[in-house]
Amino acid sequence: PVSIMWFRQDLRVNDNPALNAACDMGKILPIYIYDDTTPDGRAPGSASQWWLHHSLTSLNDRLNGHLKIFKGDPKVLIPKIMESIKAKAIFWNRCYEPWQINRDKEIKKQLIDSEFEAYSSNGSLLWEPMKVLKKDGTPYKVYTPYYRNGCLKIEEPRYPKAPPARITYADDEYKDDGLDALNLLPEIKWDFTISKMWKPGEEGAADNLSEFIQHAARQYKDGRDIPSMKGTSRLSPHLHFGEVSPNQVWYAIKDKFGATEDKSIDTYLSELGWREFSYYLLFHFPTLPNKNFNDKFDKFPWRKDAKALKAWQTGNTGIPIVDAGMRELWQTGYMHNRVRMIVGSFLVKNLLLSWHEGERWFWDTLLDADLASNSAGWQWVAGSGADASPYFRIFNPILQGEKFDKKGKYVRKYCPELKDLPDKYIHKPWETPGVIAKDAKLELGKSYPEPIVDLKASRQRALDAFQEIKG
């Protein structure tokens, strides 16, 4: 019998439970559908589209050119393809975005009603959200008990599977739309630096994982906070598109370092846990991307300020660590986690702009843009989320810069107009004495912007606004 293997956010051949199950049944027709009807305003942003294009190219190579690519509504396309190739069954790995869950349920029902078989597997999470619940049967809302008492106690994550011993392909004559029909590449070429830095696909994912294990894993606990260092694994876009499974990452680390007491290893595994927690929250609270988790924040007096938003987006706020982060994002499609927290806090607290503005910008510009991690990350920063950073904890971007970018290496890389400033002023150029500024060719307001807000006053304004909703 022939089956369809429907690739979605699992663009890999290794450790792919649905692919293994499909191949066990016989011949397969591997397909990918760019769903342009269901996403509910959540079609991939420009950076994700770029990644997807290259990831599909890479998957197609892994499948020796057999991947069929379509654009349209899976609810219409799948039954049509199944009829026409006389497929008996379809296999996929589950996705957890609310719009995908609803669509998949509909498709499954429709297929089963028409006497097709439809099988779904877990290919993207270490622990499925429906299996981890508190004793009273309700979902956890706080990370540590979720991870330590829930996940780690219920079961060990599944060990990764070997790829299918053999893949036999069904009728290759079936006409697809082809990758070019998806139109995923940018018209204006902004991807030069991005292409040099990233290698979408299974091979690129494996390279980053092994580089991390060799060079950074043991120092992760401290290294992860230094944005000028390659101290983290850079696996987030690969994990988002499923070019590597979290199980492969989890066991690559465990098998290498064993049952160690090493804090760095434990911290890294627990970051994978944060990814799980984001998916968990999205699954149990599907309004996470759109609504404040804590509804007290519905009354929060967010400002509207197009000029300030633009300055933030383009990295021209006059606060060096914030500008460096926003420019890193624009140039590389990535931003270091520590800096995501700093630019986020600056947007929602110092500028008092809604976290949705930040979430949307990240959605369009991050290569790892992920509905679960992005919404959870922004709600955490805003203080409106589950287990969020308390609202009154407002990052001081100068102190953050001085602590995590001591010598200003990161700022100098992305704000080259500040590169000649002494370390002492690199995070507060407005304090540079005249002669020194002149030597460093700094003309505040000309070569580099003046700060767009007063950090102290805007901090107080945020605290006052918070006091209002708290009362």
Interaction of residue 341 with ligand FAD, rule CB under 6 A: yes
Half-sphere exposure of 242 (CA within 13 A, CB side): 25
Buried b (16+ CB within 10 A) or exposed e, 99-117: bbeebbeebbeebeeeebb
Stretch of residues binding ligand FAD (CB under 6 A), selected from 135-143, 147-155, 183-191, 227-235:
227-235
CB of 462 to ligand FAD, least distance (A): 17
Stretch of residues binding ligand FAD (CB under 6 A), selected from 74-82, 182-190, 285-293, 376-384:
376-384
Q: Is 233 annotated as a binding residue?
A: yes
Q: Is 370 annotated as a binding residue?
A: yes
Stretch of residues binding ligand FAD (CB under 6 A), selected from 174-182, 270-278, 288-296, 322-330:
270-278
List the one residue from 177, 207, 262, 271 that touches ligand FAD (CB under 6 A).
271
CB of 24 to ligand FAD, least distance (A): 29
Identify the burial level of 161 via C-beta atoms within 10 angstroms of its C-beta, where 0-12 means exposed, 13-18 middle and 19 or more buried. middle
Catalytic status, residue 337: yes
Q: At what angle do helices 371-382 and 355-365 cross, to 10 degrees?
A: 150
Cα angle value 456/461/463 (rounded, 5°): 95
Residue nearest to ligand FAD (CB): 377
The catalytic position among 50, 330, 355, 363 is 355
List the one residue from 62, 224, 349, 461 that touches ligand FAD (CB under 6 A).
224
Q: Is 369 annotated as a binding residue?
A: yes
Stretch of residues binding ligand FAD (CB under 6 A), selected from 76-84, 163-171, 309-317, 374-382:
374-382
The catalytic position among 271, 294, 316, 430 is 271
Closest by alpha carbon to 22, among 115, 105, 119, 100?
Answer: 119
Pairing of strands 117-121, 68-72: unpaired
List the one residue from 70, 297, 312, 378 that touches ligand FAD (CB under 6 A).
378
Calpha distance 75→37 (Å, rounded): 10
Locate 391 and state its tokens: 């609202």
Cβ atoms of 406 and 423 within 8 Å: the answer is yes
Strand order of the sheet with strand 68-72? 68-72, 27-35, 2-7, 89-93, 117-121
Q: At what angle do helices 355-365 and 46-62 cross, to 10 degrees?
A: 40
Closest by alpha carbon to 285, among 407, 129, 58, 161?
Answer: 129
CB of 232 to ligand FAD, least distance (A): 3
Q: Is 58 annotated as a binding residue?
A: no
Q: Is 368 annotated as a binding residue?
A: yes
Cα angle value 367/297/393 (rounded, 5°): 75
Q: Is 220 annotated as a binding residue?
A: yes
Stretch of residues binding ligand FAD (CB under 6 A), selected from 46-54, 85-93, 195-203, 367-375:
367-375
List the one residue from 92, 147, 280, 362 that touches ligand FAD (CB under 6 A).
362
CB of 284 to ligand FAD, least distance (A): 16
Q: Position 173: which residue type?
A: E
By C-beta, is 16 or 245 nearer to ligand FAD? 245
Cβ atoms of 144 and 138 within 8 Å: the answer is no
Catalytic status, residue 355: yes
Concatenated DSSP letters for 195-254? HHH---SHHHHHHHHHHHHHHTGGGHHHHTT-TTS--S---HHHHHTTSS-HHHHHHHHH
By C-beta, is 28 or 272 nearer to ligand FAD? 272
Interaction of residue 248 with ligand FAD, rule CB under 6 A: no
Locate 470 and state its tokens: 């708290």
Binding-site size, ligand FAD (CB under 6 A): 27
By C-beta, is 232 or 292 nearer to ligand FAD? 232
How far from each other are the two terminal CA atoms of the chain, in whole angstroms? 65
Stretch of residues binding ligand FAD (CB under 6 A), selected from 68-76, 100-108, 163-171, 269-277:
269-277
Calpha distance 465→459 (Å, rounded): 10
Taking residues 379 to 408 in sequence order and writing x for each that binds ligand FAD by CB under 6 A, - otherwise, the string is --x---------------------------
The catalytic position among 149, 316, 337, 396 is 337
* Residue 76: count of CB within 10 angstroms of its CB: 11
Catalytic status, residue 6: no
Catalytic status, residue 380: no
List the one residue from 5, 235, 329, 394 that touches ligand FAD (CB under 6 A).
235
Q: Which residues are annotated as a binding site for FAD?
A: 220, 232-236, 268, 368-370
Residues noted as catalytic: 271, 274, 302, 337, 355, 378
Binding site for ligand FAD (CB under 6 A): 224, 232-236, 239-240, 271-272, 274-275, 278, 337, 340-341, 344, 362, 366, 368-370, 373-374, 377-378, 381
